[in-house]
């Protein structure tokens, strides 16, 4: 994941959502996040006061989240990505939103927060970059530790036409790496191993066979 520490890479990262199709993908993800947050708040009967967006990257969702929740934490390992996020918020958000918007450099493996310090954590476009299932579990466990009511996790599942196609290409020797997307059952097991219940799976795309993106609404086991 070293490329996120590159200033030029960070500066052009948002280009992936600049085209008409990119904007649609971005909006679909934003809608799924809104739905997941509503679901979790209703489930817990709470209005969340703090939300952590980890990794926040270049602040793709910072403005939206900072305007919806009293306290927003955008955390990321890369100071280059964080610099883009800070600039974006400074340029686009009113002073009232900026005031409760906090950015911090942090490693998802060891977060600088006490247990249950944050109401909810959102983890978008991160776990699919972690190919080792045990490492994914360790990251999710740390997010669960600091999150009081639950965590919203962006997973990539394996039941799509594209992933099936990749499997076939890998078997035929046309693709070096086999796709690492876990099945929905494996995702549920990973989440449980990290101390969370998978309460709801929200497909980001209306036609799930066309997209592997899925948000999982989770709550702490025993809550
Ligand atoms: C694909 S980007 C996703 C950013 C944002 N959530 C989005 O939707 O655009 C992945 C991010 O993970 C960050 N990252 C990688 N390893 C990390 C770690 N151990 N702790 C925190 N952030 C990490 C990278 O710096 C990068 O900004």
C-alpha 88 to ligand 1 mean position (Å): 17
Cα 126 to ligand 1 centroid, rounded to whole Å: 6
Work out which ligand 1 atom sits closest to the CA atom of 13.
Answer: 9
Residue range(s) defining the domain that contains residue 126:
2-220
Atom 23, ligand 1: which residue's CA is nearest?
77
pLDDT at 189 over 70: yes
Other CB atoms within 10 Å distance of the CB of residue 92: 12
CATH of the domain at 188: 3.40.50.150
Tell me the pLDDT tens digit for each residue of 57-82: 999 999 999 999 999 999 999 999 99
Residue 171 alpha carbon to ligand 1 centre in Å: 31
Contact 65, 101 (CB under 8 A): no
Q: Is 127 helix (H, G, I), strand (E, B) or coil?
A: helix
Least confident of 19-33, 65-79, 91-105, 181-195: 91-105
Tens of pLDDT, residues 128-137: 999 999 999 9
Maximum distance among all Cα pairs of the chain, rounded to whole angstroms: 56
Structural domain count, the chain: 1
* Ligand 1, atom 17: closest residue by C-alpha: 77
- The per-residue pLDDT for range 120-168, each reduced to its tens digit, is 999 999 999 999 999 999 999 999 999 999 999 999 988 888 888 898 9
């Amino acid at each position: 994941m070293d490329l996120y520490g590159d200033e030029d890479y960070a500066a052009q990262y948002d280009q992936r959502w600049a085209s008409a199709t990119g904007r649609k993908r971005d909006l679909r993800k934003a809608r799924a996040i809104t739905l997941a947050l509503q679901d979790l708040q209703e489930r817990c009967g709470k209005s969340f006061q703090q939300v952590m967006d980890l990794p926040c990257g270049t602040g793709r969702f910072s403005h939206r989240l900072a305007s919806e929740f009293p306290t927003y934490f955008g955390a990321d390992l890369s100071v280059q990505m964080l610099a883009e996020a800070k600039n974006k918020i400074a340029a686009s958000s009113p002073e009232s939103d900026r005031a409760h918007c906090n950015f911090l450099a942090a490693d998802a493996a060891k977060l600088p927060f006490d247990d249950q310090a944050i109401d909810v954590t959102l983890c978008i476009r991160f776990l699919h970059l972690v190919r080792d299932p045990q490492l994914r579990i360790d990251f999710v466990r740390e997010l669960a530790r600091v999150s009081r009511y639950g965590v919203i996790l962006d997973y990539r599942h394996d039941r799509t036409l594209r992933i099936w196609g990749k499997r076939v290409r890998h078997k035929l020797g046309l693709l070096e790496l086999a796709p690492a997307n876990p099945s929905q059952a494996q995702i549920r097991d990973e989440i449980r191993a990290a101390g969370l219940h998978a309460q709801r799976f929200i497909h980001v795309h209306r036609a799930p066979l066309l997209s592997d993106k899925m948000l999982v609404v989770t709550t702490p086991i025993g809550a």
